[in-house]
Amino acid sequence: MKAVHTELHRSHDPQFFLVRGVVKRTTEQPERADRLLKGLKDGKHQLVEPTKFGQGPRARIHSPEYLSFLSEAWDAWTALGDSGPEMIGNIHPVRHAATYPTHIVGKLGWHTADTAAPIGPGTWAAACAATDVAVTAAQMVMDGEDAVYALCRPPGHHAYRDMAGGFCFLNNSAIAAGQLRQKHERVVILDVDVHHGNGTQGIFYARPDVYTISIHADPVAYYPYVWGYAHERGEGPGLGANLNIPLAIGTGDDGYMQSLDVARKAIESFAPGALVIALGLDASEHDPLKGLAVTTPGFRRIGQAIARMGLPTVFVQEGGYLSDILGANLTSVLAGFEEAR
- Catalytically active residues are 158
Coil vs helix vs strand at 318 = coil
Q: Which H or E run contains 334?
A: helix 326-340
Q: Which residues contact 9 (CB under 8 A, 6 or more apart)?
A: 30, 33, 126, 129, 130, 153, 154
DSSP 51-76: P--TTHHHHHHS-HHHHHHHHHHHHH
Q: How many residues does the chain have?
A: 341
Coil vs helix vs strand at 156 = coil
Output the CA–CA distances (angstroms, integers) from residue 73 to 44, 88, 309, 332, in the order listed.
Answer: 39, 11, 42, 39
Residue 164 dihedral angles phi and psi, to the nearest 5°: -90, 165
Cβ pair 191, 213 in contact under 8 A: yes
Q: Which H or E run contains 307?
A: helix 296-307
Q: DSSP class of residue 45?
A: P
Cβ pair 66, 161 in contact under 8 A: yes
